[in-house]
């Protein structure tokens, strides 16, 4: 006589709760590991600097950098510069991302236009962006628009090529089945191409956030009257390495916050996607 094991029926809701708890536990472990690694690196840096192994003139102590950051924040010195930089970065990010999305979808769907513009886009993409910064300063002056234009060139090509490849990689069987069911081009775009390309798009947006701020800061560094890049250049001009590292630290924190917001938007828009970390 064989004994049939009793199987427990687990509801989908319970499975989702278990998966969510496992994901939260894994995320907390990773956060603790990241925090520990940060403390170890900064602590080693501080100890090596105080022991004289690292020259504090070139690599200032983390404690001195944090003091400078606090001075910039407490006195309000950094906020006008940060506001200018964020305006430039946000405008560059929005214009570059929108243009890259629109042109990427258009060229992916109209193959004649893709073949027509391909050599020109490849040529401009291969052009070093730094050489464009002086030209933009001549065209648009020292205001924010020269930095927006420079950041646009960095963001546009990242979003464009990712969107182009994301749309072109959509399963042709899925597209043909949707057409057989009578889907129009608008319905294909809304229900097939955009959802399928969202992973590619968000991947490019993560990278573009940093590049938008990079474009703004580099433009300010080359010529500006305000902005975090300008503040860093001023600190460098008087050999204030604590100020240089403080500006870099503030920019890293800002990029981290913006990236967290992009992650939140990605999780909200891609809720239908299976959790890859679930086992």
Give the predicted TM-score (pTM) of the model: 0.76
Please say which residue of 54, 79, 103 terminates a domain: 54
Closest CA to 198 of 159, 154, 157: 159
> In angstroms, rounded to a whole number, what is the distance separating the alpha carbons of residues 142 and 111?
40
198-211 pLDDT per residue, tens: 778 888 888 888 88
Average pLDDT (50-70) is 86
Residues 119 and 252 in one domain: yes
Whether 276 shows a pLDDT value over 70: the answer reads no
Residue 180's pLDDT band (boundaries 50, 70, 90)?
confident
Contact criterion met (CB below 8 Å) for 166 and 158:
no
Residue 7's pLDDT band (boundaries 50, 70, 90)?
very low
Asked if residue 184 is part of any domain, the answer here is yes
Work out how many domains the chain is built from and give that number: 2
Asked if residue 4 is part of any domain, the answer here is no
Residues 153 and 174 in one domain: yes
Q: Is 64 exposed, middle or buried (CB count within 10 Å of its CB: 0-12, 13-18, 19+)?
A: middle
Residues 50 and 86 in one domain: no
Average pLDDT (87-111) is 89
Residues 134 and 252 in one domain: yes
211-251 pLDDT per residue, tens: 888 888 888 888 777 888 888 888 888 888 888 899 889 88
Domain with 42, as residue range(s), is 19-54
Diameter of the chain measured on Cα atoms = 90
* pLDDT of 152: 92
Half-sphere exposure of 24 (CA within 13 A, CB side): 6
């Amino acid at each position: 006589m064989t004994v049939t094991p009793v199987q427990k029926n687990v509801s989908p809701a319970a499975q989702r709760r278990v998966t969510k708890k496992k994901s939260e536990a894994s995320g907390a472990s990773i956060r603790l590991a990241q925090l520990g690694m940060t403390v170890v690196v900064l602590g080693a840096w501080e100890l090596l600097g105080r022991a004289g192994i690292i020259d504090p003139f070139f690599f200032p102590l983390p404690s001195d950098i944090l003091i400078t950051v606090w001075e910039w924040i407490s006195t309000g010195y950094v906020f006008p510069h940060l506001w200018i930089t964020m305006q430039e970065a946000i405008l560059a990010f929005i214009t570059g991302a929108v243009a890259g999305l629109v042109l990427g979808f258009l060229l992916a769907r109209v193959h004649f236009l893709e073949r027509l513009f391909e050599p020109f886009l490849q040529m401009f993409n291969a052009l070093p962006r730094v050489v464009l910064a002086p030209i933009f300063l001549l065209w648009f002056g020292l205001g924010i628009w020269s930095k927006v234009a420079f950041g646009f060139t960095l963001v546009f090509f990242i979003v464009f090529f990712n969107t182009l490849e994301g749309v072109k990689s959509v399963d042709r069987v899925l597209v043909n089945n949707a057409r057989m069911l009578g889907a129009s081009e608008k319905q294909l775009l809304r229900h097939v191409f955009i959802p399928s390309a969202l992973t590619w798009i968000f991947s490019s947006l993560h990278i573009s956030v940093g590049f938008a701020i990079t474009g703004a800061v580099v433009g300010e560094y080359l010529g500006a009257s305000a902005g975090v890049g300008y503040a860093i250049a001023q600190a460098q001009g008087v050999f204030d390495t604590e100020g240089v590292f403080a500006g870099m630290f503030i920019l890293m924190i800002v990029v981290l916050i913006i990236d967290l917001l992009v992650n939140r938007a990605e999780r909200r828009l891609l809720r239908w996607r299976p959790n890859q970390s679930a086992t």
